[in-house]
Amino acid sequence: MALTRDQIAMRVAQEFQDGNYVNLGIGIPTLAANYVPDGISVMLQSENGLLGMGRYPTEDELDADMINAGKETVTAITGASIFSSAESFAMIRGGHVDFTVLGAFEVDVNGNIASWMIPGKLIKGMGGAMDLVAGAKNIIVTMTHADKHGNSKLLQECTLPLTGVNCITRIITDLAVLEVKDGAFYLRERAPGVTVDEIKEKTAGKLVVEGDVPEMAFASL
């Protein structure tokens, strides 16, 4: 069955490596802060000027002034730094973020991403997405495989205005983990209970399936 938002975040957190500097976008990516694996140290960065972001606070830990880029209250880990958004973007544009995790409306087989606007609809703000796709060393996209009407978000060519071009290499959806290369989506993992045929059906862009595709593994589901 399809993963929940938290399960997608759990799978994202498996990509973290000790010592990484990671930017988490608004929405599903932010949840990954709750699932940093034990035994590793990761510095999570938020565009508004927080380096060392922790998990969401309990009621006792709540501090209304400690927020992420999506205006959600968060905690700070030991050793965290707080600075201006200008310095935060200097960190991003200077290539000092090891990887960023972003949401998206669409991704295509050439690694293009559309995430900042839908013509005719009000979007509160694109945040630092354009800077992140240009400055981060690696980019992971998290999203649902299809929209609420069942239309695929993994396309042969994006139809919405682009956030970045030829920059996406890895996608984690509620159905699968995919690698983007050579003008195609390569299926690497599938959600527990989800078949390859279901993923094929919901992928509009070229999909390559090589051999047996393993199910995602979680410590607890």
Q: What is the dihedral of CA 22, 28, 30, 31, to 10 degrees?
A: -110
Q: List, in order, residues 6 or more apart from 201 with CB less than 8 Å away.
A: none
Q: Please, which residues bridge with residue 207 across strands?
A: 185
Tokens of 9: 């975040």
Per the CB < 8 A criterion, the answer to whether 123 and 172 are in contact is no
Per the CB < 8 A criterion, the answer to whether 153 and 118 are in contact is no
The total number of residues shown for the chain amounts to 221
CA distance 4 to 92: 29
Secondary structure tally for the chain: helices H, strands E = 5, 13
CA distance 72 to 69: 7
The residues annotated as belonging to the active site are 47
Q: Please, which residues bridge with residue 23 across strands?
A: 45, 100
